Structure 1
């Protein structure tokens, strides 16, 4: 079993990013990413996104750097790959599962209960319904980060957070940590 990274080439957030994958298991991938200091939120269904400055940390924990074509071939052979066209359905399944675990009746477009993984970005204002928001809370002692295009999005986030906190306390004894995207009116 080995964990592989490709050479960063995707610009975003003022940095250049690469992908980190396992040839055998997501457990191995999560463990290696943690040892390299990657944030759990950088996991995206079958890979971690990693910024170019993290390369030395990845190599220090035994990650092999390969070109993008080889990385894709390794991921395909592993059986862990989630194709681009299948990603929306995979996110919907994850949201359904997490909502069911919480006891949440209305399933948001994208929901993660916990700290591993991230939801889709908030759509642009021209593509989002009024009241759309994206909310992240990794530490209940800190206010959540809410992205919204309007005041109704901020209100909707606060209302949903109250419900998520109550459900999470019932299910786990702790306030909600996770991420949610609501983009339907």
Structure 2
């Protein structure tokens, strides 16, 4: 299932949402492509999408959830990639 949180995260003069899948990264990448999100928006386990694409994400079928619930769903699905695990080693 594709999940999205409210665009509440400020950066670069706009608000951003997190777009995730609790099924697979493949599902997430396909949905992001339909949404028109560039691949550079993918960050470890989610896409950062601007507030201007939020309504379209919902229209395409994303389910709105609070951020804490999105994190819990990613962990439960085994798809959470914390920052400390994605950094290269020394």
- TM-score, normalised via structure 1 length: 0.46
Deviations 1:126-183 (A, max 9, x none): xxxxxxxxxxxxxxxxxxxxxxxxxxxxxxxxxxxxxxxxxxxxxxxxxxxxxxxxxx
Bigger Rg, which one: 1
Larger relative contact order, structure 1 or 2 (CA cutoff 8 Å, min sep 6): 2
Aligned residues between the structures: 89
> 2:4 maps to which residue?
5
Q: Verify the 8 A CA contact 2:7 2:16 in the aligned structure 1.
A: yes
The Cα shift of 1:87 comes to 2.1
The Cα shift of 1:31 comes to 0.3
User: Is residue 49 of structure 1 aligned with residue 23 of structure 2?
Assistant: no
Q: Which structure 1 residue ranges, 4+ long, deviate > 2 Å from structure 2?
A: none
> 1:19 maps to which residue?
18
Stretches of structure 2 that go unaligned for 5 or more consecutive residues are none
The Cα shift of 1:86 comes to 1.1
SS at match of 1:7: coil
- TM-score, normalised via structure 2 length: 0.91
The Cα shift of 1:28 comes to 0.2
Stretches of structure 1 that go unaligned for 5 or more consecutive residues are 93-185
Deviations 1:9-64 (A, max 9, x none): 21111101111110110000000011111111101121100111111110121001
The Cα shift of 1:84 comes to 2.2
Task: Please list, as runs of the form range in 1=range in 2, the aligned pairs for 1:15-94 lying within 5 A after superposition.
Answer: 15-89=14-88
Q: Distance in 2 between matches of 1:8 and 1:87?
A: 24
